[in-house]
Homo-oligomer: A and B are copies of this chain.
Amino acid sequence: MKEIRMPNEEYAYFYSGYENPVAEVDVKEEVAVYTLDAFNGLVKTPKDTVSTLACQLFNPLTGPIVIKGAEKGDTLKVTIKSIENTSGVAVGACMNTIGGINATTVTRMINDPITEKVWIYDYKDGEFTSRENPKLKFREQPFSGSLGTAPENEVISSTVPSTFGGNMDVKDMCPGNTLYFPVNVDGAYFYIGDAHGRQGDGELNGTGLEMAAKFILEFDLIKGKKIEWPRIENDEYIMTVGSARPLEDAARIAWCELVEWIVEEYGWDKLDAYELLSKCGEMYLGNMVDPNYSMVAMVKKEYL
């Protein structure tokens, strides 16, 4: 199996169609992709609070990976076969710059900042246990917090979620689901990173169980089919992800994308689809900490 690593440990911090590919892969070819944790592997003890770290960029990505045959206007299908913790540890933290229920650089307040804190977790037998407080103990439910394709023109930080995917921090970007992303440039230029051993809805303090990982991935293409925002599918559900602020705009995007999916592929009337979601749609919070917030809209296939 092809192994994809960043040469000289020089990671990417942007979704960009202008960088040199680190690998080219065929559709339906399984590849192993190695990623670093969101803090560049620098948080090793509880003293390594985020503001003390000697780095300015976070969420290192592995990529761009060129998907052979991908052309602008196609849809990229990504299957995550597995996610494996590669370092035996994971990290959680609270910070002053981001966070769902603390003052941040965007939701600015004159209140005193909160105290920064770090938790180091040992990983063993599928379970993460905090060294500082063993009640913080979680079974793994891994996914990628930041993954997607290059935008058409811009060069966007790996911390931003948007139309092309990016830092959505959505737990359904996980093994077992089929993930869809728009192809905005020939080759797709796929990036992945920010593995989370597990995360609560919202990524409330700005961190999941941040870890280095090995992903087994497989790609496929839906030629000539254009989507506007990331989508997710499994046997039970179809799901859409919207990313914006305020949270209701993220929700509106996800719901409207889901209405369109139902109208276009299942042949429903638009208002009937609206009624359907009002009765059995589901929506959970992806993240409320990143530059855009993410909401996930979903509906069971049995209703369609």
Contact = CB atoms under 8 A, between A and B. Distances in A.
Copies of this chain assembled into the complex: 4
Contact of A270 (B110, B156, B255): B110
Contact of A280 (B13, B133, B138, B255): B138
A274 interface: yes
A92 B13 CA distance: 38
B56 A279 contact: no
Interface string A153-187: 11111000000000000000000000000000000
Contact of A111 (B114, B242, B253): B114
A205 B101 contact: no
B156 A154 contact: yes
Interface stretch (A21-29, A217-225, A243-251): A243-251
A117 interface: yes
Interface residues of A, number: 81
A164 B148 CA distance: 26
Interface of A: 13-14, 16, 56-57, 92, 94, 100-103, 106-115, 117, 119, 130, 133, 135-136, 138, 152-157, 198-209, 242, 244-249, 251-253, 255-256, 259, 268-272, 274-285, 288, 293, 295, 299, 303
9 closest cross-chain pairs (CB), A and B: A155-B155, A247-B247, A200-B281, A246-B246, A111-B111, A245-B245, A108-B256, A204-B278, A283-B285
